Amino acid sequence: MTRGPESSDMIAVTIGIPTYRRPELLEALLLALPPRIAECAALGVEIDVLVVDNDGTGSAREVAERADLPMRYVVEPTPGIAAARNRILDECDGRDLVAFIDDDEIPREHWLSSLLTVWRDHNADAVMGRVISVFEEDVDPWLLTSGTFRRPIRKTGTVLEVAAAGNLLLDLRCIRRLGLRFDQTLGLGGGEDTLFSRQLARRGGLIVWCNESETEDLVVAARLSRAWAAQRAFSSANANTRIELQLTDGALRRGALRVRALLGGVIRIVAGVLRRGFGAVTSNIDHHARGTRIAHRGRGMVAAAFGRRYDEYRRPSEDDTTMTDPASTIRVMQSLGAPRPTTNPYNKMLDEALGSTEGLERLRFSWGTALFGRYDAFHWHWPEAKLHGSTWWKSTGKFLLTTALVFRHRLSRRIAVVRTVHNIELPDDNAPRLWLLRFIDRHTDYRIVINETTPLPPGTPHSLILHGHYRDWYAKFPAAERVPGRLGSFGGVRRYKGLEGFIDAYAEAVTTEPTLSLKIGGRPSTPELGDDLRARTAGLPGVELHLDFLTDAELVQLASSSELIVLAYRFMHNSGSVLAALSMARPVLVPRNEANEALAREVGAAWVLMYDGDLDAPTVVEAWRAASTLTGSPDLSRRDWADAGRAHRDAFREGVAHKRRLR
């Protein structure tokens, strides 16, 4: 080993980990390191671990000190990954090698031993290993074909001119001899490792590839959107162009490079837009995705040509007001987590719309990020959902966590609380929970109403964003043949939804109209309610119960086979079930109120049939007869999802602006 100490000497290796406010990911990495260190036992190396926390508050200290490793932990308060990497170099004075690994990666078997072997065999100054993207949920095929997460595979020993620092072994003797440092002007924009490695190669350093060294890079849900992929293409092209300019000597050469970047960027924008358009017309996802990425890379090059630097990892200060700028990106924490199979389609479509909206970074709910993370607005949907657990102690824990979250928002000078008003009444009779729900409502900064008739106190800052339809969502599932005389009802079975009264009305109606039948689908809120419905329908002709959660396909079968959907709620304001039925071109029978009258005027009176007082048999029969002759579809043009993401983004910005004006 001509570049290292004598073969009889022990080689000192440090595993360098820069981290910033990701304690869960850091802990997973540290737990994975002991077997990777043990694999190096026969290589004559002495290994320690260095965690450099780029959070000035030292949020990673507890995780680092808890690790069963030869550990060093330091805080680097200067913001930016470049400052953290330089601190690792500084803390490794006297060490021979440093192996960089990022805090969101997990090393695979023989990660470090492979790096060391290739370093020894090729007499290298740096060795770069593979970083393999893994995903915590299903990935949009568009993202995969766009190339956003594609990384090249090379033959071990391939000489490189540039390297990334996510999985990188450096010979520190060479680095110190050449006086190399990571450029801190790139610390918040990315590309600091690109510049560093290119400078190393230019000064005679040997960088080689190790295909056997692998780490897994967990791609979090926040990055699994087309908007994030587009912004990533912009930022990487912007950083690469600025690095090229920085490496170019002479004003004339830099000027020529700016012109080439400008022209090349414009060409890419035009070519990318044309290719994206071709992909849209031909429904070719490959052309659409790659065209989008090419166009945004062109944007990044043009921006760099004009001297604009995009700081992808910028950290807004407590007094930052740029989130109200239409050109800025606003970070919004949703009170909803990642969608599950049982999640309401409204939540799923809203999640998708927010995740694909430019200028909006949607954060799905996690307690760690909600309580300690950085975001500009918190978006409540149903606050009561955060207060209920399967046991009393889980409910107590959730109550305490929610209380802590509410007071964090209350004390924060910069986090705006935005609430979508789904329900008018607070749905809880437990005194502590009711107090907390009232507190949340009282200290909400901005509201989103999804119904024109939602009552708000005069002067309440708000935006109207109508509840979107479900046409596109349910169109994916096969519809059933309409069954003459079939009445349907679906949705979560609750006492306030009045199913008992509807069943009694049906029992009387079927004696005069024997062609009628009834199908009810939905999971009861309690076993007792389910038993009550079974008892009420026992012996009634033509009744079919599906008292369990309905999949989307099952719901479409139920609704499309019915001639009329009956939703006999004792109280109704915003009903996703009504819009679901209308989205499948099925008329509804609902109680008369201001909200339903407005909906009838909007979509067509024939589609929203109403009754006064208690539902009775003559009303059911009359509504069924009107519905059975109805053709066409309701007018849902005002409820398209195309602008829902942008409308929410603008509402969040208004909420942030309102909060900061008050402060």
Amino acid identity for residue 549 in this structure = F
- What's the pLDDT at 269? 82
**Tokens linked to 659:** 């909060």
Q: Which of 39, 659, 45, 652 is nearest to 354 (CA)?
A: 652
In a domain, 311, yes or no: no
Task: In whole angstroms, give the CA distance from residue 278 to residue 287.
Answer: 7
- Domain harbouring 346, CATH code: 3.40.50
Q: Do 142 and 248 fall into the same domain?
A: no
Tell me which residue of 658, 547, 663 sits closest to 324, measured CA to CA: 658
CB atoms within 10 A of CB 232: 20
Same domain, 172 and 209: yes
The answer to whether residues 157 and 258 belong to one domain is no
Half-sphere exposure of residue 449, counting CA atoms within 13 Å on the CB side? Answer: 15
Is the same domain home to 59 and 194? yes
Helix (H, G, I), strand (E, B) or coil at 103: coil
Domain holding 100: CATH number? 3.90.550.10
Specify whether the CB–CB gap between 313 and 21 falls below 8 A: no
Which of the 8 DSSP states describes residue 493?
B
Same domain, 188 and 265: no
Amino acid at site 53: D
Model confidence pLDDT, tens digit, residues 52-111: 999 888 999 999 999 989 999 999 998 888 899 999 999 998 899 999 999 989 999 999
Query: Which of the listed residues 175, 192, 221 is the one where a domain comes to its end?
Result: 221
The list of the chain residues with pLDDT below 70 reads 1-8, 136-137, 187-189, 222, 308, 310-327, 372, 411-413, 426-429, 496, 663
Q: Give the range of the structural domain holding residue 612, as residue numbers without chain letter.
A: 478-639
Task: Say whether both 149 and 213 belong to one domain.
Answer: yes
- Pair 498, 596 in one domain: yes
Q: Are 608 and 588 in contact (CB under 8 A)?
A: yes
Question: pLDDT of 311-358, one tens digit each?
Answer: 666 655 444 444 445 557 899 999 998 888 777 788 888 898 898 888
How many angstroms separate the Cα of 657 from the Cα of each of 415, 416, 559, 650?
10, 8, 43, 10
Contact 323, 316 (CB under 8 A): yes
Q: What is the CATH number of the domain that holds 530?
A: 3.40.50.2000
Answer with the one of 221, 238, 272 that is the final residue of a domain.
Answer: 221
Residues 133, 139, 142, 143, CA torsion sign: negative
- The 10 Å Cβ neighbour count of residue 368 is 11
Same-domain status, 538 and 621: yes
pTM for this entry: 0.49
Average pLDDT, the chain: 87
Residue pair 623/589 in contact by the 8 Å Cβ criterion: yes
On whether residue 70 sits in a domain, the answer given is yes
Burial 5-26 (b: 16+ CB within 10 A, else e): eeeeeebbbbbbbbbbbbbebb
In a domain, 316, yes or no: no
pLDDT at position 426 is: 65
> Residue 310 domain-assigned?
no
Q: Which pLDDT tens digit goes with each residue over 400-418?
A: 888 878 877 876 668 899 9
Q: Are residues 65 and 193 in the same domain?
A: yes
Q: Which amino acid is at 481?
A: E
Which of these three, 198, 221, 244, is where a domain ends?
A: 221
Alpha-carbon distance 99 to 43, whole Å?
A: 15
Q: Assess whether 214 and 246 both reside in one domain.
A: no
Burial of 527 (0-12, 13-18, 19+ CB in 10 A): exposed
Domain count, the chain: 4
Residues 296 and 197 reside in one and the same domain: no
> Is 563 a member of any domain?
yes
Helices (H), 248-284: 251-282
Place of tokens 């009552």: 455
What pairing do the DSSP bridges indicate for beta strands 167-171 and 330-334? unpaired
In a domain, 5, yes or no: no
DSSP letter string, 232-250 = HHHHHHHHHHHHHHHH--S
47 near 35, Cβ under 8 Å? no
314: in domain: no
Q: Is residue 317 part of a domain?
A: no
Specify the DSSP class assigned to residue 265. Answer: H
Q: Are 258 and 305 in contact (CB under 8 A)?
A: yes
Angle value at C-alpha 148, between 147 and 151, nearest 5 degrees: 70
The answer to whether residues 57 and 87 belong to one domain is yes
For residues 166 and 111, what is the distance between their CA atoms, to the nearest angstrom? 12
